[in-house]
Amino acid sequence: MRKIFNPKVFQLVYVSLFTPDLARVQDHYVEGIGLNLTDKGDKGELYLSIGYDHHNVALHPGSESAIANIGFQLKPEIELAEFLKDAEAFGIRGQLKTDSQPGVRSLVELELPGNLNLQFYNDIATPAPGFRDVGVAPMRLGHVAMMNTSGDKVTEFFEDFLGFWFTDKFTDFFNFYTCNKDHHVINIVKGPENRYHHFAFELRGSPSHAMAADWLRRRGVKQEWGPARHPASHNYAGYHRDPDGVMIELYTEMDVFIPELNMFEPRPWHEFFPMVPRDWAGGDLNAWGAEFTCKLE
Ligand SMILES: [Fe+2]
């Protein structure tokens, strides 16, 4: 029987990072990427917004670079206490927190294997500071790729508990899942460490790639890979690193998923019709054939 697409969450809203170099990292995200500083926490945390939500990136002072937490918005009909009870029944520990961070009154924090803290909430403040016209100036936070030493358990949680839809895999390394129309909202990277592999901002349009790369280069930041088109998900993507070495993707033209048909909206650059979820084992990362030194690991 066909799977019913009914995920408990509908969007990724924020990624939070521990950083040992708060001032430099803040400078990258505020002046380089072009985010707004909206709030500060009691322990020196900085909350940064692309233009609408209270925060899309949170920077936490820490001894080393690491994932602090990742925030997903639950569908309105999902009640927090019930969600926590269901997660615990699924074998995941967590707690209900109130006023634990600015902008999010109540949330459930779940502890996934591999030291992965995921936060789920119904509402986030939307001060709408506006989109800035300096820096990379992205449009939205689109997806997060997390490397995890217990990758199978994490994919099981997203697929079987949260109801995400599997949309592609690229070798055994990258595993793509979505909870909305985007080809992927999460990418679970089965690897030897627990860390961000990368997270991704969608740009306003494809010409923005050149402007973003020019701007970053002027600030001394080099491109690690691309911009070029990926085969899996067909996003036009470029990668650079923040001052802590965390990889950031800037992308446009990502495949649009149609869950009712288990396929992606057809595009002129697709290799297959219909384009359906597949295993891209053995393929290259670059649809245009260029070989970059960085292998995106
Ligand atoms: Fe990505």
Residues in the chain: 297
Q: Which of 154, 152, 144, 209 is nearest to 182 (CA)?
A: 144
Q: What's the gap in Å between 79 CA and the centre of ligand 1? A: 30
Which DSSP letter does residue 279 get?
B
55 three-state secondary structure? coil
Is 122:103 a contact under the CB 8 Å cutoff?
Answer: no
Helix boundaries (H) for the chain: 22-27, 80-89, 151-156, 208-218
Q: What's the gap in Å between 82 CA and the centre of ligand 1? A: 32
Q: What's the gap in Å between 176 CA and the centre of ligand 1? A: 9
- Give the pLDDT of residue 1: 58
Helix boundaries (H) for 118-238: 151-156, 208-218
pTM of the complete model: 0.97
Q: What's the gap in Å between 236 CA and the centre of ligand 1? A: 10
User: CA–CA separation, 268 vs 193, rounded Å?
Assistant: 37
Q: What's the gap in Å between 198 CA and the centre of ligand 1? A: 7
Domains and CATH numbers, the chain: 9-121 (3.10.180.10), 140-264 (3.10.180.10)
User: CA–CA separation, 233 vs 66, rounded Å?
Assistant: 27
User: CA–CA separation, 237 vs 256, rounded Å?
Assistant: 15
Q: What's the gap in Å between 253 CA and the centre of ligand 1? A: 12
- Give the pLDDT of residue 171: 85
Structure tokens at 101: 């961070």
Q: What's the gap in Å between 184 CA and the centre of ligand 1? A: 8
200 three-state secondary structure? strand
Is 249:237 a contact under the CB 8 Å cutoff?
Answer: yes
Q: What's the gap in Å between 27 CA and the centre of ligand 1? A: 23
Q: What's the gap in Å between 241 CA and the centre of ligand 1? A: 13
Residue 119, beta-bridge partner list = 71, 109
Residue with tokens 């290259």: 284
User: CA–CA separation, 100 vs 160, rounded Å?
Assistant: 28
- Give the pLDDT of residue 210: 98
φ/ψ of 102, rounded to 5, equals -60, 145
Show pLDDT as tens, one digit a residue, over the chain (297 residues). 567 889 999 999 999 999 999 999 999 999 999 999 999 999 999 999 999 999 999 999 999 999 999 999 999 999 999 999 999 999 999 999 999 999 999 999 999 999 999 999 999 999 999 999 999 999 999 999 999 999 899 999 999 999 999 999 988 889 999 999 999 999 999 999 999 999 999 999 999 999 999 999 999 999 999 999 999 999 999 999 999 999 999 999 999 999 999 999 999 999 999 999 999 876 678 999 888 888 888
Residue with tokens 């627990």: 194
